[in-house]
């Protein structure tokens, strides 16, 4: 079913089945379903103009083409009081195999700066129930956000553990941080599992953050670092509770 990206005050979602429908839906709708979207080469899913209170639901398989740029971000999310979620079985695939060369952001094939930029998300927002796999480098960049919860996420980059033909025997994926957080406050990351090849959570600046019930596999765990020589160098009130929390490996829980 194709959407007419008209205002959905009745609560009926604007149902997007083609990449070309997204911008009109973001501009006009507060209930958006993105179903089996294929972002073309050189194109990002731009959710930076979401109206206050919008819910975005990923459905089916979301895929991305190739973009030969180290300053490109395949997805950007901004808004107040927003919910970003997914239907059961939905998968967001970052096409990491097109970029992985064992070097990550240190050189080689130009790779996206971050896969998903979460910027200026405020007002008791939540990002939940997403299954993301095969991100090229650095998954979430979280900056200038407040009162935001990440929960019930399955982030699976295990396909990048194996070497490929251009990684010189190293794991093909590199610099595959799960959550990079800066200049943000009142952030919660909970009830999620991360399989990657670098930091599970890296905090460089911010205040009042809680990380709990998080499983980190294959990477470097949690870090507070890269502090210094920046305009904002404060890292305060960080609580980490690594309580065992068994999650299914292939789907997030409600």
Residues involved in catalysis:
198, 220
Q: Which two tokens stand for residue 231?
A: 């305009």
Task: Give the closest residue to 191 by CA, choosing from 215, 207, 208.
Answer: 215
Q: Which two tokens stand for residue 76?
A: 């950007």
- Long-range contacts, 218-224 (Cβ 8 Å, 24+): 218/157, 218/158, 218/161, 219/176, 219/177, 219/178, 219/194, 223/199
Q: Which residues contact 234 (CB under 8 A, 6 or more apart)?
A: 205, 206, 207
Cα angle value 216/242/147 (rounded, 5°): 90
The sign of the torsion formed by the CA atoms of 41, 139, 91, 33 equals negative
């Amino acid at each position: 079913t194709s959407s007419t990206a008209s205002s959905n005050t009745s609560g009926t979602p604007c149902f997007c089945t083609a990449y070309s429908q997204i911008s009109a839906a973001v501009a006009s709708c507060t209930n958006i379903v993105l179903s089996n979207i294929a972002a073309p080469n050189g194109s990002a899913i731009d959710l930076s103009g979401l109206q206050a209170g919008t819910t975005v639901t990923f459905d089916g398989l979301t895929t991305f083409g190739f973009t030969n740029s180290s300053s490109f971000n395949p997805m950007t999310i901004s808004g107040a009081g927003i919910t970003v979620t997914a239907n059961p079985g939905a998968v967001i695939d970052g096409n990491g195999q097109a970029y992985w060369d064992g070097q990550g952001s240190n050189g080689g094939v130009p790779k996206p700066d971050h896969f998903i930029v979460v910027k200026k998300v405020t007002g008791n927002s939540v990002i939940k129930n997403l299954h993301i796999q095969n991100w090229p480098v650095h998954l979430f960049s979280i900056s200038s956000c407040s009162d935001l919860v990440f929960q019930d996420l399955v982030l699976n980059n295990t396909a990048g553990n194996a070497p490929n033909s251009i990684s010189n025997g190293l794991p093909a994926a590199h610099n595959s941080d799960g959550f990079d957080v800066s200049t943000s406050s009142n952030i919660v990351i909970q009830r999620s599992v991360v399989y990657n090849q670098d930091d599970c959570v890296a905090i460089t600046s911010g205040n009042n953050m809680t990380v709990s019930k998080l499983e980190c596999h294959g990477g470097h765990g949690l870090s507070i670092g890269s502090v210094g020589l920046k305009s904002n160098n404060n890292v305060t009130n960080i609580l980490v509770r690594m309580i065992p929390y068994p999650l299914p490996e292939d789907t997030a829980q409600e």
